[in-house]
C-alpha cells in the first residue's frame, strides 16, 4: 500500500512517497520538487503551481497563500464566482497527486497531509475536507514539526535525545520539542503563530520599496499590478540576501510619472533588512522562550535543533539560533523544503505498510487548551494545552438554574480564564435533562481528541440517560449536502 505524504504549504507544497524503504520526493511537471501554492483561473481554465505564479501580475484571478484563510468564513472570488478556501486548497492537492500518480503510473488516493502544529480544530477539519473534495482518502493529519522530526530522527544514535524542531515556513511558524528514543517520538510541547512566516519578511522589503516609489520616484499610487511586482521583487531580494551582504533590486517600467517611465533601481543591505525585521524576530524569540518554558527544558538540555521551512535559510534566523543554542546543536542535514513531506511519507509507510522496515511510535500533543463555558463567564479547561493525543477526558457538571429541561454546552479553545475571551468552536444543546433544582442534575461531559487533533464531544444526563454526541465539524457551516455539492462542483471544474 503506497501513501503520499503531502506538505500543503502556504507558499510552496511538496509530495513524497515511500517505495521499497526509500523516500521519493516527486517532481512536478516543471521538474521541480516544490510547487508554488498558487491557483489561478483564466477563461474558466484552472491553473496551479508554477504556471499560475508566472501570470500572477497579468491575471487578477490568482490566489496566493490560501492556507492563511483555510477554516475561516472567507470566500475567494475568481472570474465572478465565489469559492471556499477548502475548494482552492483541494485544487492544489489534486494537482500534486495527479502529477505524482502520472510519474509513478499509479492511482494512489491515500494521503497523509501535514498541518501547522498550532492549527485549531476548525482549520484541521477544513484541511481534511480539502482532501476529500479532491477525491483523496485522508488517512491522517500530522503536525508539520513532528513530520520534520520524523524526517530527521530515525537514526541508531537517537537514544534519549531532546530534539527541537524550528519550522519557519512561508506563512506559518511552529516550534515543537520532542523526546526521541530510536523510533519512539513523543512531543512534549508545541507552540507557534499561524500568521507568521516568510511572507511577513517579504512584506518588510515591500514596504521599503513602496516608500521608495512614493517618496523618491514620486509615484502617486501603488496599484494591484505594482503591488504584485513589488512582492515578486521582494521575495527574490530576500533569497539573495541569504547568500549576499547586499542586493540590487531592479523593477523596470514600474510606473509612468510625468509621461515618462520610471524604474526601481534600489540597493538593499542585509543589515537594513535585518534591522527592519527586528519585531518579527522578537516574535520568534518570544514563542521559542514560551515553548521551552512549557516543556520544562533548558537550552542546555536540547540535543539538536532541526530546521524546516524555507524561511530558515535567512541568515538572521540562523544567527539567532546559533547564538541561542550554540552552533554545534543546529542541524543542517535536512532539505528544509522537503523535510515535512518526507516525514509524512515515512509515517504513512510505517503505519499502513505491513512490509515497512520501520515501526514508529508517535505521540503528539494538542496545541491549544479545550474547555467549556460555565456560569458568570468562567472557563473550565477539560484538555490542557500540550496534552498527549489521542486523549479522552470526562468531567461532571450541573445546572445553574432551577428546573431547566435542557442545557447549552459551549466548546472553546484558548487559555484565558474568561470564557468569552476564548475562541468558540462549537456549541450544542442537551435536551430532556432531569428537571430539578439547580445543582441537582448530573451532566457527564466528555471531550475526546483523535490522532488528527480533531475533537469529538458528548454529554449525558446521568439520571435520564439523555445524550448528545458531536464531531466538531459542523462549525465549518458545511452539512453533508453542501459537502457533496462541493465535490460535484470540483469534479466539473477541471
Give the 3-state secondary structure of residue 81.
strand
Which residue among the candidates 53, 67, 125, 238 is catalytic per the annotation?
Answer: 67
Active site residue 181: no
Active site residue 144: yes
Residue 145: asked if its preceding bond is cis (omega within 30°), the reply is: no
Cβ-based neighbours of 211, under 8 Å, separated by 6 or more: none
The cell numbers describing 230, all together, are 513589488
Which residue among the candidates 7, 121, 235, 349 is catalytic per the annotation?
Answer: 7
Give the 3-state secondary structure of residue 27.
coil
CA end-to-end span of the chain, whole Å?
28
Put the strands of the sheet holding 379-383 in their side by side order. 379-383, 370-373, 406-413, 423-431
Active site residue 406: no
Nearest to 411 by CA among 463, 473, 479: 473
HSE-up of residue 37 (Cα within 13 Å, Cβ side): 25
Q: Is 27 exposed, middle or buried (0-12, 13-18, 19+ CB in 10 A)?
A: middle
Active site residue 294: no
**Residue 149 · residue 158 · CB < 8 Å:** no
Which residue among the candidates 53, 94, 125, 144 is catalytic per the annotation?
Answer: 144
Report how far residue 299's alpha carbon sits from residue 297's, in angstroms, rounded to the nearest whole number: 7
DSSP calls for 298-355: -TTT--EEEEESGGGGSHHHHHHHHHHH-GGGEE--S-TTTHHHHHHHHHHHHHH-TT
Which residue among the candidates 121, 167, 200, 473 is catalytic per the annotation?
Answer: 167
Catalytic residues: 7, 67, 144, 167
Amino acid at each position: 500500500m503506497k501513501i503520499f505524504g503531502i506538505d500543503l504549504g502556504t507558499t510552496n507544497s511538496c509530495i513524497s512517497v515511500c517505495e521499497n524503504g526509500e523516500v521519493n520526493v516527486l517532481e512536478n511537471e516543471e521538474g521541480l520538487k516544490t510547487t508554488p501554492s498558487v491557483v489561478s483561473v483564466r477563461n474558466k481554465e484552472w491553473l496551479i503551481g508554477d504556471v499560475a505564479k508566472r501570470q500572477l501580475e497579468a491575471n487578477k484571478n490568482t490566489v496566493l497563500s490560501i492556507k492563511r484563510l483555510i477554516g475561516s468564513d472567507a470566500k475567494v472570488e475568481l472570474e465572478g464566482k465565489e469559492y471556499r478556501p477548502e475548494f482552492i486548497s483541494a485544487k492544489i492537492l489534486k494537482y500534486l497527486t495527479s502529477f505524482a500518480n502520472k510519474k509513478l503510473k499509479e492511482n494512489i488516493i491515500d494521503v497523509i497531509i501535514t498541518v501547522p502544529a498550532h492549527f485549531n480544530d476548525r482549520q484541521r477539519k477544513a484541511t481534511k475536507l480539502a482532501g476529500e473534495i479532491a477525491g483523496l482518502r485522508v488517512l491522517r493529519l500530522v503536525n508539520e514539526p513532528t513530520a520534520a522530526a520524523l524526517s530527521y530522527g530515525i537514526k541508531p544514535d537517537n537514544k534519549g535525545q531532546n530534539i527541537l524542531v524550528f519550522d519557519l515556513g512561508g506563512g506559518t511558524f511552529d516550534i515543537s520539542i520532542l523526546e526521541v528514543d530510536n523510533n519512539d517520538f513523543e512531543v512534549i510541547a508545541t507552540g507557534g503563530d499561524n500568521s507568521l512566516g516568510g511572507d511577513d519578511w517579504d512584506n518588510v522589503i515591500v514596504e521599503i520599496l513602496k516608500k521608495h516609489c512614493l517618496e523618491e520616484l514620486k509615484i502617486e499610487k501603488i496599484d494591484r499590478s505594482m503591488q504584485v511586482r513589488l512582492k515578486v521583487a521582494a521575495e527574490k531580494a530576500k533569497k539573495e540576501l541569504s547568500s549576499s551582504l547586499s542586493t540590487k533590486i531592479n523593477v523596470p517600467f514600474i510606473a509612468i510619472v510625468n509621461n515618462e517611465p520610471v524604474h526601481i533601481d534600489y540597493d538593499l543591505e542585509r543589515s537594513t533588512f535585518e534591522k527592519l525585521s527586528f519585531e518579527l524576530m522578537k516574535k520568534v524569540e518570544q514563542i521559542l522562550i514560551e515553548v521551552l518554558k512549557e516543556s520544562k527544558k533548558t537550552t542546555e538540555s536540547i540535543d539538536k535543533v532541526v530546521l524546516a521551512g524555507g524561511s530558515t535559510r535567512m541568515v538572521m534566523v540562523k544567527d539567532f539560533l546559533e547564538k541561542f543554542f550554540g552552533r554545534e546543536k543546529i542541524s543542517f542535514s535536512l532539505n528544509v523544503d522537503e523535510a515535512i513531506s518526507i516525514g509524512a511519507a515515512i509515517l504513512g509507510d510505517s503505519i499502513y505498510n505491513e512490509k515497512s522496515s520501520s515501526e514508529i511510535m508517535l505521540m503528539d500533543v494538542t496545541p491549544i487548551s479545550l474547555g467549556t463555558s460555565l456560569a458568570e463567564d468562567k472557563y473550565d479547561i477539560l484538555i490542557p494545552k500540550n496534552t498527549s493525543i489521542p486523549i479522552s477526558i470526562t468531567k461532571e457538571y450541573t445546572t445553574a438554574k432551577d428546573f431547566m429541561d435542557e442545557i447549552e454546552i459551549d466548546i472553546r479553545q484558548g487559555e484565558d480564564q474568561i470564557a468569552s475571551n476564548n475562541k468558540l468552536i462549537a456549541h450544542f444543546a442537551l435536551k430532556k435533562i432531569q428537571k430539578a433544582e439547580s445543582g441537582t442534575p448530573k451532566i457527564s461531559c466528555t471531550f475526546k481528541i483523535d490522532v488528527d487533533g480533531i475533537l469529538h464531544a458528548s454529554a449525558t444526563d446521568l439520571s435520564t440517560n439523555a445524550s448528545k454526541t458531536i464531531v466538531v465539524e459542523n462549525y465549518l457551516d458545511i452539512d453533508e449536502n453542501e459537502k457533496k455539492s462541493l465535490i460535484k462542483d470540483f469534479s466539473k471544474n477541471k
